[in-house]
Homo-oligomer: A and B are copies of this chain.
Amino acid sequence: MNNLDGISERTIERLALYRRLLSGLLEKGLEHIYSHQLAEFLGNTPAQVRRDIMSIGHVARSKKGYDIPELLTHIDSILSSGGDHRIALIGIGNLGRAILSYFNQQHSALRIVAAFDNDETRVNRVISGCRCYPMDELKEKVEGEEITLGIITVPGPSAQIVADALAAAGITGILNFAPVPLKTPEDVYVERIDITTAIEKVAFFAGKWRQKGT
């Protein structure tokens, strides 16, 4: 399922963090960085940093730490090796609009190019530079605009229907914010972000820690 080329799912997540961090450091004019510095920034261990970097086959030319532009280019090439993606967002509610406004300020390789909703008062306009369409144009636009990923921000009860529509339209990856697990064909990769669960988890562990020590 995962683990392409010996790169684990967790490592991919951290590579995205390294990229963002390195990119910022580069802008500040930094040229080199040690694994322990990266670890310090990311809150993990130097050993993990080295193993992550090792797993993409990177070899530092010198022992003055990693060459930032080189490493950045390398990580970038791994992360973008899945190809370019154009994204559709379904569910132009509070969360959907927040994501639209955030996302289309930045990021060039990953762009939300179309948004959809079944509430007709929310469509046929432009939000944060993104065109909004009714649901019955989904398949047409996905195919026409060569959209490959979908972000689901509709209420739980509608999420499966939307996922089915996305899969039928030929999308291969979904980011699901609805608090329900989705059933999709095997060739659709699904990632879920469950904000409510995350808060419940914090509540549990924060409470436990308060009761005990560390």
Please list the residues of chain A having a beta carbon within 8 angstroms of any beta carbon in chain B.
Answer: 1-2, 4, 9, 12-13, 16-17, 20, 41-43, 79, 81-83, 85, 87, 93-95, 97-99, 101-103, 107, 109-110, 148-149, 151, 172-175, 179, 181-183, 186-191, 193-214
- A12-B204, A83-B207, A83-B211 are known; give 9 further A-B pairs, CB within 8 A: A9-B205, A41-B181, A81-B204, A83-B203, A83-B210, A149-B203, A189-B202, A189-B209, A191-B201
Instruction: Specify which of B87, B98, B174, B199 is in contact with A110 (CB 8 Å cutoff).
Output: B199
Q: Are A16 and B191 in contact (CB under 8 A)?
A: no
Q: Are B198 and A193 in contact (CB under 8 A)?
A: yes
A16 to B196, CA, bound (A): 9
> CA–CA, A1 to B12, complex, Å?
24
Copy number of this protein in the oligomer? 2
Contact of A2 (CB < 8 Å), options: B93, B200, B205 = B205
Q: Report yes or no: B181 in contact with A191, Cβ–Cβ below 8 A.
A: no
Task: Please give the distance in Å from A172's CB to the nearest CB on chain B.
Answer: 4
Residues of B within 8 A of A210 (CB): 82-83, 148, 172, 187
Return 18 A-B CB contacts under 8 Å, by A number. A20-B179, A20-B196, A42-B181, A79-B203, A81-B204, A82-B203, A82-B206, A83-B203, A85-B207, A94-B101, A97-B98, A103-B199, A149-B203, A172-B206, A187-B209, A187-B213, A187-B214, A189-B209
- Top 8 closest pairs, chain A to chain B, by CB: A82-B207, A173-B206, A94-B98, A173-B202, A43-B181, A83-B207, A172-B206, A82-B204
Verify A82–B199 contact, CB threshold 8 A.
Answer: no
- The distance in angstroms between the C-alpha atoms of A208 and B1, with both chains bound, is 10
C-alpha gap A197/B21 in the complex (Å) = 12
Contacts of A83 in B (CB 8 A): 203, 207, 210-211
